[in-house]
Amino acid sequence: MMEAPEEPYRVSSFCPRNGCVEVAVLADGQVALRDTKDRSRPPHRFTRDEWSAFIAGVKNGEFDLPSTPTGA
Protein backbone atom coordinates (compact mmCIF):
# COMPACT_ATOMS: atom_id res chain seq x y z
CA MET A 1 0.00 0.00 0.00
CA MET A 2 1.31 3.43 -0.92
CA GLU A 3 1.95 5.74 2.02
CA ALA A 4 0.34 9.15 2.00
CA PRO A 5 2.83 11.97 1.49
CA GLU A 6 3.88 14.39 4.20
CA GLU A 7 3.32 17.17 1.69
CA PRO A 8 1.39 18.75 0.10
CA TYR A 9 -1.45 18.27 2.57
CA ARG A 10 -3.80 21.26 2.63
CA VAL A 11 -6.07 22.50 5.39
CA SER A 12 -8.90 24.98 5.05
CA SER A 13 -8.26 28.56 6.12
CA PHE A 14 -11.60 28.32 7.96
CA CYS A 15 -10.27 25.69 10.39
CA PRO A 16 -9.19 26.54 13.91
CA ARG A 17 -5.58 25.80 14.76
CA ASN A 18 -4.98 22.03 15.07
CA GLY A 19 -8.65 21.16 14.87
CA CYS A 20 -9.48 20.11 11.33
CA VAL A 21 -8.72 17.66 8.60
CA GLU A 22 -6.07 17.89 5.89
CA VAL A 23 -6.35 16.74 2.30
CA ALA A 24 -3.67 15.61 -0.15
CA VAL A 25 -3.81 14.32 -3.72
CA LEU A 26 -1.68 11.18 -3.99
CA ALA A 27 0.51 10.19 -6.93
CA ASP A 28 -2.04 7.52 -7.94
CA GLY A 29 -4.81 10.15 -8.12
CA GLN A 30 -6.52 9.15 -4.89
CA VAL A 31 -7.31 11.72 -2.20
CA ALA A 32 -5.97 11.25 1.34
CA LEU A 33 -7.78 12.76 4.33
CA ARG A 34 -6.27 12.90 7.83
CA ASP A 35 -6.95 14.47 11.21
CA THR A 36 -4.66 17.37 12.14
CA LYS A 37 -4.75 16.30 15.79
CA ASP A 38 -3.13 12.91 15.09
CA ARG A 39 -1.12 12.83 11.89
CA SER A 40 0.45 9.50 12.87
CA ARG A 41 -2.75 7.61 12.07
CA PRO A 42 -3.26 6.36 8.51
CA PRO A 43 -5.33 8.67 6.34
CA HIS A 44 -8.68 7.79 4.86
CA ARG A 45 -8.34 7.32 1.10
CA PHE A 46 -10.88 8.13 -1.59
CA THR A 47 -10.95 7.80 -5.37
CA ARG A 48 -11.22 11.04 -7.32
CA ASP A 49 -14.84 10.16 -8.18
CA GLU A 50 -15.72 9.56 -4.51
CA TRP A 51 -14.06 12.83 -3.49
CA SER A 52 -15.76 14.79 -6.29
CA ALA A 53 -19.17 13.40 -5.26
CA PHE A 54 -18.54 14.37 -1.63
CA ILE A 55 -17.43 17.91 -2.51
CA ALA A 56 -20.43 18.35 -4.81
CA GLY A 57 -22.69 17.32 -1.91
CA VAL A 58 -20.97 19.79 0.43
CA LYS A 59 -21.40 22.61 -2.08
CA ASN A 60 -25.05 21.62 -2.52
CA GLY A 61 -25.69 21.80 1.24
CA GLU A 62 -26.36 18.06 1.63
CA PHE A 63 -24.16 17.84 4.74
CA ASP A 64 -25.22 21.04 6.48
CA LEU A 65 -25.95 20.54 10.16
CA PRO A 66 -29.52 20.99 11.36
CA SER A 67 -30.25 24.24 13.20
CA THR A 68 -30.97 22.24 16.36
CA PRO A 69 -29.24 19.00 17.32
CA THR A 70 -31.21 15.82 16.65
CA GLY A 71 -32.87 14.53 19.82
CA ALA A 72 -32.68 17.89 21.60
What pTM, to 2 d.p., does this model score? 0.74
**Given this model, what pLDDT does residue 69 score?**
75
Tens of pLDDT along 16-65? 877 899 999 999 999 999 998 898 999 999 999 999 999 999 999 999 99
Identify the CA nearest to 39 among candidates 25, 18, 55, 54. Answer: 18
Euclidean distance between CA atoms 9 and 44, whole angstroms = 13
**Given this model, what pLDDT does residue 64 score?**
94
Indicate if the pLDDT at residue 2 is higher than 60.
no
Euclidean distance between CA atoms 48 and 30, whole angstroms = 6
Indicate if the pLDDT at residue 5 is higher than 90.
no
